[in-house]
Every structure is written in C-alpha cells, then in structure tokens.
A and B are shown apart, each in its own frame.
Chain A
Amino acid sequence: MTQNWPLWEVFVRSRRGLSHTHAGSLHAPDAEMALRNARDLYTRRGEGISIWVVPSAEITASSPDERDPFFAPSADKPYRHPTFYEIPEGVHHL
C-alpha cells in the first residue's frame, strides 16, 4: 500500500543561476523513484533543469506558534538594511 510509500518534497531549479524552489510533493517508494516521479510530474512543461527530493519527514521546521518570538528580534535591527543610512545627494555608486 502507498502508506509505505513516503511523502517527498520536490525542489526544482528552473534555470541556471537560480536556486531550487519548492514545487510540491509526491509519493515514492524510495529516493530514486521520487526523483523520476518528480521529473515526470513537475518538469513536464520544461519547468526545470535540476531537481532535489527530500523525504518530508526529514524536514525540520520552525514552529508557527513561535513565529513572533522566533522572528521578531530581526525586525528591530533596521541598521542591517541599506535604506537605514543617509547618503548626501550627489554621491553615487554607494
């Protein structure tokens, strides 16, 4: 039965120079078949040139309930962004 066919997450690189992005998921008995199924399912209109498959169970995700405490600290550090700094008019390439 397919309950023994684990779920895999599929990441596709659409062209050189871009990173792999999540395309969706599928079932496959093992990594080799997952890769092939992913090729058939997620690149049949020429959407990709490289595929990663990862067992869904192997992904560790941050908890949604922690999203405020987890991500809030990064919101109050505007000095990490270039727009924080004032540059006098007429100064270029900065």
Chain B
Amino acid sequence: MLQLDRKTVTREVSNAQIEAGGGTIVEIDGDTPWQEAATQISGAVQVDIRFPSFKDGRGFSLATLLRERAGYTGRLRAVGDLIPDQAQFLHRVGFDDVAPDRTDLDADWARARARFTHAYQPAQDRVTPIFGQRTATPKDDLAALNARYRGADAIDILRDAIRNEWTGRIAILSSFGAEAAVGLHMISQVAPDTPVIFLDTGRLFAQTEQYQRALTDQLGLTNIRMVRPQAEEAMAEDPDDKLWQRDPDACCALRKVRPLDNVIGDYDALITGRKRFHGGERMALPVVERLDGRIRVNPLASWSAQQVTDYFQRYDLPRHPLSDMGYASIGCWPCTAPVQDDDDVRAGRWSGRSKTECGIHTPSRIAAE
C-alpha cells in the first residue's frame, strides 16, 4: 500500500482508533451518490472508495464532495483498478492513501506522485493554484512561504523548493545519519541531481561512510558534494586529534561550520532534515527560515518519529548500520553515543555536555559566543 502523506494528524488519530478497536472502516463504490455515501460513513475513521476501473472517474467527484460538501475529515483511501499515473489526481481530490489492485509498482506510484510542481486549479490539497500564485506576494517573503507550505506534504514542499522557488540554487544538507534516508529518498523522486552536501569531518564512523555509498547508489543520487576541513587548518588547530575533547565547539567549527561556509555561497537555500520532535531548540522549527541571509527549508519539520519509521518501511529503505545498535542520532564517533529508549533522540550527541547543536544550523553570532 502506498500512502500519500496527507493530513498526517488525522491519520495518526485514525490509526490509534483502529488499533484500539474503535471506529469502523467503510467501503463504498465510486458510483454512490455523495449524499447517500455521507450517511453510510458516519462514525467511520476510514473510508475506502472503490474504483471498478481506472477509467471510471466518478470516485474523483465523490471524494471531492465527501471532503468539501460532507465535511469528512477522516482517512480516505482509493482502492481498486488504479494506475500510478493517477497518483496526483487522487491526492488532489482528497485521498490520503491508495491500495491499487496491482501492488508491485510502488516506485512508479512514488514518482508519479511527485510529477507536477504546480496545479492550474484549486482542489482539496490546498495547493495555491497557478492563477493565485501569479498574483501572490514576492518569493522571498518568509511568512508567505510558510503560509503556503502550511499543511503541505513534505514531498510537495521539496518539489516546489527545488523546481520552482530556488531552481538551481538549492542543495540538501545530509549527514547520512539515522533518519537521512527519508529526505534523500524524496530527493531521488523529485530531482536526483540535486546537490547533496555531505560533511566529511574526518571523524565519521566507518559505518556512516559505508552507508553513504550504499544509499547514494540505491537511490540513484547523482550529485554528492563531499565537503572536508582544510588540511592546514586541521594540522594547526587539532595537531593531536584531541580537539573534540578539549573544546568540542572549536572542533565543530573546524570540521563542520567553516567547511560548510566555504561552499554555501553556491546556494540561496539549503534543505535540512531537522524535525521538531528532536527537541531542544528544534521544537519551534519553522518549515522555512532565514539563517545568516540564507534560506533553510525544513520539509520534515512536523514529522513524528512514527512517520519516519513508517516511511522507512513503506519504501523498504536501508537503516544506518548503527541504528540497530541504539544510536538514534549519528554524528562524529567521538561525540556520539547510543541513547536509552526513553531519551530524546539527540541525547547521545555531546552527551554529558550542555552542547546540543554543532553550529551549522545556528546563526554565526550565537555560534561564536
């Protein structure tokens, strides 16, 4: 089953209700008049609309009317004889999920779902239609962008950012850590030639390096940019390889912050995989923010740990080898430790110190303090 990642909160509620045995799943035929359907689905937490043939478009109107006229907010799933080329239409009329008869085409469904950046007409997905965008506020207006991306799916945000807002001037920053595969998989669907900036600090786990190569290969990413610390600076500032112990902030500055600064000029915007559930300063993370004059796009900001897990399963993505060993967030080997089950995911980073961020996501004046 391929999920379309719509109305996440509602789905979590539905999932919980279904698991708790509360709420029912109702299947209705696509040719059911919507008024009749509306009475059949009262109390349902999930409604399946059956398409007898992919050529029978009545289910598209029915979904629209259940959402728009009947006010149904639960989970809506399209089932039956559907083809991947309908993914975006299904999503746009209000379906959360689809369960097609032919089940071996998940990759085609994912690609089709990411096919079009814009839409000419308003629909249930709340995307601003092109005629609305033409009359909208200028691009660099953070509030307007955040308003536009509010409630949008991560992949729609990514697609819009890469193909439209910052075309050719955007990269994704990836640690190839525990959750990195999610954002990278989406990139592979939207534009696999997007630059992926990978900070090779010289202190990475061997497993991370291994994982980076394997994942890049599997996803077909074609533009990995390895960024390394300057050799002379490393010799001068960290001759004994113990800087991490003496002054972890200085070590991060040498191995992450300054190398990134050296390449950042090529881009107007950087995509990150940060999420609010990581805690700390990230709890207030907006989808789009400005940092030292550059844009950071955080399409996964609102994602939960469960969503990450689901996504890995759905697309059968490989886990970082250290994930199974209790590492929930993975940085350089000297400063990363496994976490306990009830810890925050980033509790293992600079464990035992007050430090929580390396500095690449922090304004420079604060990082310097």
A complexed with B: no
Q: B-side interface residues toward A, CB under 8 Å?
A: none
Q: A-side interface residues toward B, CB under 8 Å?
A: none
